[in-house]
């Protein structure tokens, strides 16, 4: 007999809504941070377009660490912290 198992586990904790948000005004900058996996940059292209439509006047700064196994450099993190009011991190694959 074959038994099929659902690979999705049962949550061990109650689900919690994500409540963090950034109220952005025109002229502020959103960082778009690609983690180096394939398609993370392409995914951020779509995110940028969607956010541009929703948040007119907000600027974007692109960051790509280029290698998924490497840490982001201190200069890159400093630039993000100094320049961006919010950051979207992208995982590719």
Q: What is the pLDDT of residues 31-67, one digit of tens each?
A: 999 998 888 999 999 999 999 999 999 999 999 998 9
Domain-located, residue 3: no
For the chain, the domain total comes to: 1
Domain-located, residue 52: yes
Domain-located, residue 39: yes
Domain-located, residue 79: no
pLDDT confidence of residue 22: 86
Q: Is the CB of residue 31 less than 8 Å from the CB of residue 59?
A: no
pLDDT confidence of residue 91: 76
Domain-located, residue 16: no
Domain-located, residue 11: no
Alpha-carbon span 67 to 15, nearest angstrom: 32
Alpha-carbon span 79 to 90, nearest angstrom: 18
pLDDT confidence of residue 6: 83
Domain-located, residue 4: no
- Geometric angle at alpha carbon 11, from 5 and 13, rounded to 5°: 165
pLDDT confidence of residue 52: 94
Domain-located, residue 1: no
pLDDT of 2 above 80: yes
Residue 44 tokens read as 């951020």
Alpha-carbon span 49 to 53, nearest angstrom: 6
Full domain range(s) for residue 61: 29-69+84-90
Which residue reads 């061990």 in tokens?
Answer: 12
Which residue reads 């394939």 in tokens?
Answer: 38
């Amino acid at each position: 007999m074959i038994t099929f198992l659902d690979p999705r586990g049962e949550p061990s904790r109650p689900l919690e809504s994500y409540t963090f948000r950034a109220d952005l005004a025109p002229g502020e900058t959103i960082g778009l941070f690609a983690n180096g996996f394939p398609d993370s940059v392409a995914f951020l292209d779509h995110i940028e377009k969607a956010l541009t439509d929703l948040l007119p006047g907000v600027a974007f700064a692109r960051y790509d660490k280029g290698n998924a196994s490497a840490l982001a450099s201190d200069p890159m993190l400093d630039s993000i912290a100094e320049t961006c009011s919010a950051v979207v991190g992208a995982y590719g694959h």
